[in-house]
Amino acid sequence: MSKEESQDYGYASQISIRDLEEKQRLLKDRMLLIGQNLIEIKERTESEFIELKKELEEIKQTLNRVKSFLETASSEFSKFARKEELELLRKQAKMFQPLDFVRKSDLEKLKNNQS
């Protein structure tokens, strides 16, 4: 092997080593970037998860209030008059006709006026 060939081989080796070092540096930079992105995504996901937990808790509280209101309302429904009961009262009131009755004082006035 001649001196020129060994210099070419040494030069080629140096270029290959520099190329490998550059690739390694690029890979290292990419790994750091991927790590930073992963940390950011993890933090964002955790904050979204905490927010969702808060919203879920609010929904649970609202649901419990609605449930309590419905239970109270349904217990009150038994105290309401049914349609049949109202119809019966209406018929009784119609038969009674309180406006058709005369007061005693009115009868006495009529009696005094006729006498």
Per the listing, tokens 């609605």 go with 66
Name the band, by pLDDT with cuts 50, 70 and 90, for residue 28. Answer: very high
Q: Report the residue count for the chain.
A: 115
* pLDDT value of residue 98: 61
Q: Which residue type does 52 have?
A: L
Break the chain into its structural domains and give their ranges: 3-81
Condensed to tens digits (0 to 9), the pLDDT of residues 30-86 reads 999 999 999 999 999 999 999 999 999 999 999 999 999 999 988 887 787 788 888
* pLDDT value of residue 2: 63
For the residues 9-17, what does the mean pLDDT come to? 82
Whole-number Å distance between alpha carbons of 90 and 115: 40
| pTM of the predicted structure, to 2 decimals | 0.50
Contacts of 1 (CB under 8 A, 6+ apart): 9
pLDDT surpassing 80 at residue 99: no
